[in-house]
A and B are shown apart, each in its own frame.
Chain A
Amino acid sequence: MNTGVLDELVSALRCLPSVGPKSAQRMAFHLLQRDRAGADRLARALGDALTRLHNCARCNTFTELEVCERCSSPRRDASQLCVVETPADMLMMEQTHSYSGLYFCLMGRIAPLEGVGPKELRLDRLLERAADPAVREVILATNFTNEGEATAHYLGEMLRARGLAVTRIARGLPVGGELEHTDIGTIAQALSERRPA
């Protein structure tokens, strides 16, 4: 029995996050035995995605067009530019239905211990995007992790130095949150960033 092709499929599936040898084998057998149509669809979808999707020239998220639909929509407010870490973060912002500006997706964050700095993140593309004279405000919506904070800090410095108004999304207790059930880190931070009532 020549299983070179099977081995290759199993080891290829392991490139997915959190897929180990056992899961990869299970997936391979499932696709080959139980769902060959699904396997065919997956193969074609992957191929199409690889050849047709690339980063939007404006917001850096994935699109089939040169500039994605959101970035070219006349209904979006071009004066606001919201910077997020990932496309998933962008989708969350969209689900709020309370933001109508445009986005820039970093596709990562500054991670000093992993050696991810401004060059690896290609921050020059954000600078270029933010230099559009239509942009009046840049909203930093990176995560409230230490890495997200480092990213926001340096983006803020860099954009302010170029004369842009920069804001950071607020943090504190979650909506509907009760002090009694909130972690002390959130409460301490909310206390130190309290505002006039």
Chain B
Amino acid sequence: MTTGKQRVDGQPAFLLQAHPYRETSLVVDVFSRDFGRIGLVARGAKRPRSQLRGVLVEFQPLDLGWFGAGELRTLARAEWQRAWPMLSGPRLLLGYYLNELLQRLMVRDDAHPALFDLYAEAVQKLALAPAETVRHEALLRGFEKALLRELGYGLTLDHDANGDALDPQARYVYKPELGLLEGEGSGDDVSMTGAQALALHEDDYADAQVARLAKTLMRVLIAHYLQGQELRTRRVFIELQDL
């Protein structure tokens, strides 16, 4: 889709991760609105006086320009669109978790403008919303669900795997790739009532049991699509909580 030489400018983007590259440069993994996740070489970005040093920062809305073709393009220009407060504490770790999900589940050069807008909205909430108004769990679950939907792994929670309406009282098991199957399930199966499935469908996590269920379901689904890869940010987050 994006083969051939191109010159792009004024592209809204977020930095997901930066790696040192050669003596004075960085390779940055960015999520751009209209070109998806791409790799850019930021020449000279590690020099002490480089103006890019303070610009290429995670969780800030950037305005980027680049040129070139292939795996690694060359960053031509980077500016902050505006300045959001830096994320802090657990919110910063949640931000890293969002970045890792995008890095591991989204292939390069695949545009997802709707997902970009959802990511921007989630980061903005983490940066700007007063502590007491942000429900981290709801924010994460909403993003995880939207991510799976956008990447084509959408989950169906408003009817069962056969396309039949749910019985709120009946018990169901959620199978990755299939959907809800009526039955008790066993062992590691994620099982729920029809009413709980409908609450999940509506992103209504007010009930503590539904919120827990959402967390388990997302963890199982994400692990399924990661095919055994570890989520590093999740492990580090858990270890930090235990300090």
Query: Measuring CB to CB, which residues of chain A are less than 8 angstroms from any residue of chain B?
Result: 17-18, 20, 110, 112-119, 123, 145-146, 149-150, 153-154, 157-158, 183-189, 192
Contacts and interface: CB of A to CB of B under 8 A. Distances in A.
B86 interface: yes
B53 to A, nearest CB: 9
Contacts of B233: 112-113
B59 interface: yes
Contact of B51 (A146, A183, A188): A183
A185 B83 contact: yes
A18 B88 CA distance: 32
A115 B235 contact: yes
A82 B134 CA distance: 33
B25 to A, nearest CB: 9
A186 B51 CA distance: 12
A167 to B, nearest CB: 16
B22 interface: yes
Closest 4 CB pairs of A and B: A188-B83, A117-B236, A115-B232, A112-B96
Contacts, number: 83
B80 interface: yes
Interface in B175-202: none
11 contacts: A18-B22, A113-B99, A113-B103, A146-B57, A146-B58, A149-B88, A150-B92, A157-B243, A183-B55, A185-B60, A188-B85
Interface residues of B, number: 37
B54 A146 contact: no
Given A112-B96, A112-B237, A154-B240, A187 B83 contact: yes
Interface string B103-116: 10000000000000
Contact of A146 (B59, B97, B230, B239): B59
Interface in B92-131: 92-93, 95-97, 99-100, 103
B23 interface: yes
Contacts of B60: 185
Contacts of A114: 232
Contacts of A158: 243
B85 A112 contact: no
A129 to B, nearest CB: 15
A123 B243 contact: yes
Contact of A118 (B55, B84, B240): B240
Contacts of A110: 236, 240
Nearest to A144: B86
A193 to B, nearest CB: 9
